[in-house]
Structure 1
Amino acid sequence: MAYVPAPGYQPAFNPPVPYCTMIAGGLRVGMVVTVQATLPSKYNRFAINFACGQEDTSDIALHMNARYDGRDRVVFNTKQCENWGTEEMKKEMPFKSGKVFFIMFEVTKNNYQVSANGAPFFEYGHQIPVDRVTYFQVTGDITIQELAIVGNGPGVKGGLVMSGAQSDLLPMMGPAYVNAPVPFSANIRGGMIPKRIVVVKGVVKPKAKGFIINLKSSFNNEIALHLNPRLNKNTVVRNSFTNGTWGEEETEQVKNPFKEGEYFNISILSTEQNFKVFVNGCHSFNYAHRLWNLPQVDKLEVEGDATIVYVFI
């Protein structure tokens, strides 16, 4: 079963490099862009661009260039009218060979706030208006595991651009909850009605025993979906809590995708009959509804041995 993201969320799993995608509706303040990647066996440099078009001559609002030449550093710059500006430089390299690294760009009113592996790394002030940025590009010596553009939802200038499959899903309104503390709780506006998706991007802590994601009713605290990866038992438990009792656990799964110290991306789609759960872009399992009043399922909880990168609803 192919994963289809809802409008407002643009993920890509294991895409080829060079990679170029249009930012549906254009870039705006409040959006988040993430890249999870590794270095190939041979590497010299890679680049990430927030561009004003897909042509080689297009202006580039933010060019981030990791260079490995014995003086390892990360360079930031802007290109306007085919001329590069003055380089800004960070003389440290958090993107190491043999390790998965994670880059996050948060678009603020004044700058791009760049994080590396969960820690603040650099701030780059806007030199080109954000609303001119329409493409996101990755080039060079890098292997992308996952890339996501988060928060380009309704209300953006020019409206949404979506595929036919996306048009059958409810838009994700946002904003994203970034680096939120665990335990975490957030309201789901309108509840988990059919066609709604929630996304949890995180990291399993080292030596983790397990963590929990609940979709529940704030009205009566019943739990429609209790998702519990148990690392110490190498299983993923699903259950519901209704009428004051837990139901029968479900554990059947082809593969446990959760590993200590590794990133995960969980996407939960509500349908008329069940919750369809995708992990890292792959369909993992379905969970038939046991609590049928889906508009009342209006709360998302995350707790346990996991760190949140972002939650998007």
Structure 2
Amino acid sequence: AQNSPSQASPTYNLTLPYHNPIPGGLRVGMSIYMQGVASEHMKRFFVNFEVGQGQGADVAFHFNPRFDGWDKVVLNSKQNGSWGNEERKMSMPFHKGAAFELVFMVMMEHFKVVVNGTPFHEFKHRIPLQMVTHLHVDGDLMLQSINFIGGQPPSNQMPMPAKALPTMEGPPAFNPPLEEPSLSRATYPTAKSFVINFKVGSSGDVALHINPRVTEGAVVRNSFLNGSWGSEERKVPYNPFGPGQFFDLSVRCGADRFKVYANGQHLFDFSHSLSAFQRVDLVEIHGDVTLSYFQI
């Protein structure tokens, strides 16, 4: 889906420690979505929501999984240089050597933590949200991507084209059902084929049909207009769709074409019929795929 005015572009393959400003600052309704892989020899890692970037910065929320024989996740805050009352979850949602999806949803009264689509913990705010400026991540993990959703865009963010699908405010939906009028990020464990259609509900026309065929190693694109399929396109510079692989798909809508990016890299363009494009009101997804979240 096209990045809306309230969504910053994802950052990929990050070097640790990650210690950077939160685009537009923290606010209610914002979600921070991370993908990574826990080290096979993981002992611990942390995610800090910090007030400033200095060495002694206050920490509004410290999220700290620890593999230490009594596997647990420690949650805390630090104010005026002193740690507060520690909260502990004596359960471990991460697995050594395994990929994970970690989401922090900023609610009015607390941070809601979701791991691999399952709610894990709610941590009540101890420091005002508006004071948080930086995100700090480090430890025994490989950080594949971070996406800030629902915050103000960076100053160089381009606005949406006038003729694009409607924007959706607020946090994304996680593990949604497979037919939704919106699209963004997905993962799938074992796959042969799946389909993404940008569709006109009233006529059944499809302005863009994306069909990754894993067994063929192909990414097929086409359109279905006035009862007929058009010319099939298959050529791509690389194929991001492999069995068990995470991927992030962004479909940007221009005046005469769709521009599709996978994991931050341009994958293909597809020219569209303007009349069909202007009537698209449904995104249809089915096949061997599990959605993690979507946003339009």
Partner of 2:93, secondary structure, is coil
Aligned to 2:284: 301
The answer on 1:214 being equivalent to 2:197 is: yes
> Which of 178, 183, 192 is matched with 1:183 structurally?
178
Aligned to 1:93: 92
> Which of 174, 180, 186 is matched with 1:202 structurally?
186
Aligned equivalents of 1:12, 1:200: Cα separation in 2: 15
The code of the aligned residue for 1:122 comes to H
**Counterparts in 2 of 1:104-183, with a 5 A limit?**
104-153=103-152, 160-163=153-156, 166-167=157-158, 169=160, 173-183=168-178
Percentage identity across paired residues of the two chains: 38
Deviation of 1:254 after TM superposition, in Å, equals 2.9
Q: 1:57 to 1:7 in 2, by over 3 A?
A: farther
Residue pair 1:176, 1:311 contacting (<8 A) in 2 also: no
Q: 1:138 to 1:170 in 2, by over 3 A?
A: farther
Deviation of 1:53 after TM superposition, in Å, equals 1.7
Aligned to 2:60: 61
Q: 1:279 to 1:146 in 2, by over 3 A?
A: same
Residue pair 1:27, 1:133 contacting (<8 A) in 2 also: yes
Aligned equivalents of 2:284, 2:170: Cα separation in 1: 17
Partner of 2:158, secondary structure, is helix
**Counterparts in 2 of 1:259-274, with a 5 A limit?**
259-274=242-257
Aligned equivalents of 1:217, 1:52: Cα separation in 2: 47
Residue pair 2:63, 2:76 contacting (<8 A) in 1 also: yes
Q: 1:291 to 1:176 in 2, by over 3 A?
A: farther
Deviation of 1:19 after TM superposition, in Å, equals 0.8
Residue pair 1:182, 1:304 contacting (<8 A) in 2 also: no
Residue pair 2:255, 2:274 contacting (<8 A) in 1 also: no
Calculate the aligned-residue CA RMSD, in Å: 2.3
Aligned equivalents of 1:161, 1:269: Cα separation in 2: 18
Deviation of 1:235 after TM superposition, in Å, equals 1.7
Residue pair 2:117, 2:175 contacting (<8 A) in 1 also: no
Residue pair 1:175, 1:312 contacting (<8 A) in 2 also: no
Q: 1:5 to 1:54 in 2, by over 3 A?
A: farther
Deviation of 1:106 after TM superposition, in Å, equals 1.5
Q: Tell me the TM-score normalised to structure 2 length.
A: 0.88
Aligned equivalents of 1:255, 1:230: Cα separation in 2: 13
Q: 1:225 to 1:176 in 2, by over 3 A?
A: farther
Q: Tell me the TM-score normalised to structure 1 length.
A: 0.84
Aligned equivalents of 1:44, 1:180: Cα separation in 2: 29
Aligned to 2:224: 241
The runs of at least 4 consecutive aligned structure 1 residues that moved more than 4 Å come to 4-7, 168-173
The code of the aligned residue for 1:147 comes to I
Aligned to 1:71: 70
Aligned residues: 290
Aligned to 1:196: none
The answer on 1:231 being equivalent to 2:214 is: yes
Aligned to 1:13: 12
